[in-house]
Structure 1
Amino acid sequence: MTANPTVFTFADSTDLILEIPTTSGANLESHLFSHPYSRYQAYLNELCLSAVLPWLQEEFTTRAKVWPSTTALASFWELVNGTAVSLDVTRFILVPSEAMDLSELRVPQEWVDLPSWAGDYYLAVQVEVDSGYVKVWGYCTHAQLQDQGKYDPGDRTYAINASEMIDDISVLPVARQLCPNEITRSTITALSTIPQTQAQNLITRLGNPEIIHPRLAIPFPLWGGLIEHGGWRQSLYERRLGLPEQRSVWEWLENGVTQIAENLGWGRLNVQLSAAASRSAEDRQPGVTLAKRLTIAGQTYELMVTPQGEADAPYWRFELRNANVGAAIPGGFKLRLLTEDLQPFPNNEDIATTAVEQLYVEVALETGEGIVWEIEPLPENYDQEILRF
């Protein structure tokens, strides 16, 4: 998708009408979704995104991009209607619908009540599939949804009347320029952490594709706690597609990374481990390392995961390096490992107090145990993932 969107106006002069690119929706293969309902939901979201994102890039900043990443879109659209687009520190939520009735905007609860999902501005987008255009007919803020919207427990949406929204989209860029410090978000109470065993049970239960609307099948505090965890959201999505475990590190080392993992940037490297990358001379031998390229603050880094130790007592080394030869990791960077349910443990992080060549954490894991990695500052397109050992 590129900027330079085709914009044309008819009917109400305040309507923003954007042409849907002819190639939109071409990559949404049927096997990416578990049910015709979620497949069509994804199709509408793809049409909406392909038309509106170039306009956002043209009107606001070329840095506007999908949150958390384009590779994560299918796992969102399988479960919830809507797409998030980040414009630096501001987030837009695109809410598409084919409905002819434009008297209200209905926003899924996930985009309002999950702290890591919530946006600043919510755009109401009518998708005219046959006519080949979308109509952005109004917008509101998160604070408006919370204060003026009406919560519907039946479909777990916040509905706000069109009369409460701003219907002239041309006002939005001007308002952001004139009022850059506008308070757009209300305070959101974080959900309680779900125990790992309960999360796995929920993934098993909701992974049944015959459950067409898994978001309505369990109480919202459980549902929200499950899918706000990026690794559990991905696991649920993959389970609904009937896929085997996609992030088994041992499987990657022996047989190569899966296509999903490759799409996320993982690959295998055959390396000669250095003295700094091992605890003893016996460990320094040719081996296979898993590596993922990351972009942090405009620089390229490499996260590597390497098996260490003896076959009967292995441990794992997570290492972060600057991808440019001779370049260092700046002071203030952190590499952190968490348990699958995002809990810290002893010696789980390494912090660069000054510029360093590498950051690393070594950990011994039980068979089948999961680990989530984090880096500060946050890498571009970061989404929590569970690596299974």
Structure 2
Amino acid sequence: MTFNSTKAFADITQLYLEIPQTVQVRACEHSQSFSTLSRRWNAYLNQICLSTFLPWLREEHIPSATPWSNAATSASIWEVVNGTAIVFGTTRMVLIPTEAIDLSELRVPQEWVDIPTWAADYYLATQVNPEEGWIKIAGYATHEKLKTKGSYDVRDRTYSLDKEDLIPDLNILWVTRQLCPTETTRSVVTPLQSLTLVQADNLIQRLGNTTVILPRLAVPFTIWGALLEHGGWRQRLYERRQSLPEQWSVLNWIVNGISDLAQQAGWVQMEPQSSLAGGRGVQEQLKPVLIKRLDIAGQQYELRVLPQGKPEEQRWRFELRNVALGKQIPAGFKLRLLTEDLQPFENNEDRAITPVDLLYIEVAFNEPAEGLVWEVEPLPKNYQREILRF
């Protein structure tokens, strides 16, 4: 990939990157799975920004930088809001793409500022010109500056800063991080109210109708933000707006294979080998295992979901294991299951008091299509909530 920051533009202190042709082709392909033309275009611009800026960031500054969300999660975000996040360590930056050639301000959707788990350290005004094949980082601002000096527009729920208030040279960001590693970049964000399952179901049914062009403006922000912050509910909203069938039914995964969106989120299916097969006529009924790889504190773990007993018993086992041979799960780790609306229940958690080989929870369902959300502490890298349906 060719990077070019010395083109004959007005301000040579600003970063210009060429958009590879392959990036434009892939972005065009990936942007087809959205509800309207405007949403497809939004996804197209965001994918171009991510796929052009991230390789440069890794090569020049942060080799460990990753997208905050996987492909499935990104789609659920771009369906309803503009912006794409990148993380490295505990730092998050958000690219805000715009087609404006004469950029006069940075406008950041409120979701990226006032949802506690979305708030970033840095926001980058990113001009995109697909026809000429370049993106430009026109300037950046911190969360703290957006909240203290930015203007909030109630009509479109955005925070804005004039161009003059942005720092145009991205090199200043890296120098500041080195010289002032304790610089305050984020303001305090007020937690959002919790939603009940009934509220969430009603919102998803209403806002999942594509005649609602801008669902983010259709309900009060405190309600909308709470719906969006729950990754499983946001995913359900996206799937409803695409008229997709159920993507997270574990029973369907067992019978028909893991859905496309679940595969994008990292789930795979493994057929276990029986140690008794062929031995003295003994036959063991093998059960498939559903696996998701997790990166926790720089080590690889597996979350496993296994059916237990007879199918009609609807019993399942969740396990957390260290992938490395002979490695254990450190003390302090927790594996937890919650209801779809994030409520605990009896025996819903297993924790490692001392190093252990695995953590596990067994659960039985009384009703069909019940949903569960899994959690692990410490949080896995780029963790997003998922609702697994049984």
Deviation at 1:49, TM superposition (A): 1.7
Report the 3-state secondary structure (helix = DSSP H, G, I; strand = E; otherwise coil) of the residue aligned with 1:24.
Answer: helix
Which ranges in structure 1 are unaligned for 5 or more consecutive residues?
A: 275-283
Asked whether 1:13 is paired with 2:12, we answer yes
Deviation at 1:272, TM superposition (A): 6.3
Contact 2:70 2:265 in 1 (8 A): no
1:325 to 1:273, Cα distance in 2 relative to 1, 3 A: farther
Report the 3-state secondary structure (helix = DSSP H, G, I; strand = E; otherwise coil) of the residue aligned with 1:380.
Answer: coil
The residue identity in structure 2 corresponding to 1:7 is: S
Structure 1 segment 109-124 matched on structure 2, within 5 A: 109-124=110-125
The residue identity in structure 2 corresponding to 1:102 is: L
User: What CA distance in whole angstroms lies between the structure 1 residues aligned with 2:177 and 2:300?
Assistant: 31
Report the 3-state secondary structure (helix = DSSP H, G, I; strand = E; otherwise coil) of the residue aligned with 2:292.
Answer: strand
User: What CA distance in whole angstroms lies between the structure 1 residues aligned with 2:159 and 2:344?
Assistant: 35
User: What CA distance in whole angstroms lies between the structure 1 residues aligned with 2:207 and 2:337?
Assistant: 27
Which ranges in structure 2 are unaligned for 5 or more consecutive residues?
A: 276-283
TM-score by length of 2: 0.92
Question: Corresponding residue for 2:151?
Answer: 150
User: What CA distance in whole angstroms lies between the structure 2 residues aligned with 1:59 and 1:295?
Assistant: 24
Contact 1:37 1:212 in 2 (8 A): no
Structure 1 segment 48-127 matched on structure 2, within 5 A: 48-127=49-128
1:256 to 1:40, Cα distance in 2 relative to 1, 3 A: same
Deviation at 1:136, TM superposition (A): 0.9
User: What CA distance in whole angstroms lies between the structure 2 residues aligned with 1:209 and 1:86?
Assistant: 31
Report the 3-state secondary structure (helix = DSSP H, G, I; strand = E; otherwise coil) of the residue aligned with 2:224.
Answer: helix
Q: Which moved more, 1:90-99 or 1:45-54?
A: 45-54
Q: Which moved more, 1:195-204 or 1:69-78?
A: 69-78
User: What CA distance in whole angstroms lies between the structure 1 residues aligned with 2:126 and 2:375?
Assistant: 34
Question: Corresponding residue for 2:209?
Answer: 208
Question: Corresponding residue for 2:135?
Answer: 134
- How many correspondences in the alignment? 378
Q: Which moved more, 1:82-91 or 1:306-315?
A: 306-315
Deviation at 1:70, TM superposition (A): 4.0
The residue identity in structure 2 corresponding to 1:23 is: T
Contact 1:59 1:173 in 2 (8 A): no
User: What CA distance in whole angstroms lies between the structure 1 residues aligned with 2:219 and 2:125?
Assistant: 27
Deviation at 1:55, TM superposition (A): 2.8
Contact 2:71 2:265 in 1 (8 A): no
Question: Corresponding residue for 2:384?
Answer: 383
Question: Corresponding residue for 2:22?
Answer: 23
User: What CA distance in whole angstroms lies between the structure 1 residues aligned with 2:71 and 2:271?
Assistant: 29
Question: Corresponding residue for 1:278?
Answer: none
Question: Corresponding residue for 2:301?
Answer: 301
User: What CA distance in whole angstroms lies between the structure 2 residues aligned with 1:348 and 1:103?
Assistant: 52
Deviations 1:96-143 (A, max 9, x none): 101133221100000000010010011111112211111111111101
The residue identity in structure 1 corresponding to 2:26 is: N
Asked whether 1:45 is paired with 2:46, we answer yes
Structure 1 segment 221-240 matched on structure 2, within 5 A: 221-240=222-241
Q: Which moved more, 1:326-335 or 1:179-188?
A: 326-335
Question: Corresponding residue for 1:286?
Answer: 286
Contact 2:5 2:12 in 1 (8 A): no
Contact 1:371 1:388 in 2 (8 A): yes
The residue identity in structure 2 corresponding to 1:321 is: R
Question: Corresponding residue for 1:277?
Answer: none
Question: Corresponding residue for 1:341?
Answer: 341
Q: Which moved more, 1:99-108 or 1:295-304?
A: 295-304
The residue identity in structure 2 corresponding to 1:291 is: I
CA RMSD of aligned residues (A): 1.8
* Identical aligned residues as a percent: 56
TM-score by length of 1: 0.92
Report the 3-state secondary structure (helix = DSSP H, G, I; strand = E; otherwise coil) of the residue aligned with 2:202.
Answer: helix
The residue identity in structure 1 corresponding to 2:5 is: V
Contact 1:257 1:267 in 2 (8 A): yes
1:158 to 1:311, Cα distance in 2 relative to 1, 3 A: same
Deviation at 1:302, TM superposition (A): 1.8
Asked whether 1:258 is paired with 2:259, we answer yes
User: What CA distance in whole angstroms lies between the structure 1 residues aligned with 2:369 and 2:345?
Assistant: 18
Report the 3-state secondary structure (helix = DSSP H, G, I; strand = E; otherwise coil) of the residue aligned with 1:7.
Answer: coil
The residue identity in structure 1 corresponding to 2:247 is: Q
Deviation at 1:312, TM superposition (A): 4.1
User: What CA distance in whole angstroms lies between the structure 1 residues aligned with 2:79 and 2:115?
Assistant: 17
Structure 1 segment 181-200 matched on structure 2, within 5 A: 181-200=182-201
Structure 1 segment 141-180 matched on structure 2, within 5 A: 141-180=142-181
The residue identity in structure 2 corresponding to 1:364 is: A
The residue identity in structure 1 corresponding to 2:189 is: I
1:51 to 1:311, Cα distance in 2 relative to 1, 3 A: closer
User: What CA distance in whole angstroms lies between the structure 2 residues aligned with 1:293 and 1:56?
Assistant: 25
User: What CA distance in whole angstroms lies between the structure 2 residues aligned with 1:273 and 1:202?
Assistant: 46
1:273 to 1:388, Cα distance in 2 relative to 1, 3 A: farther
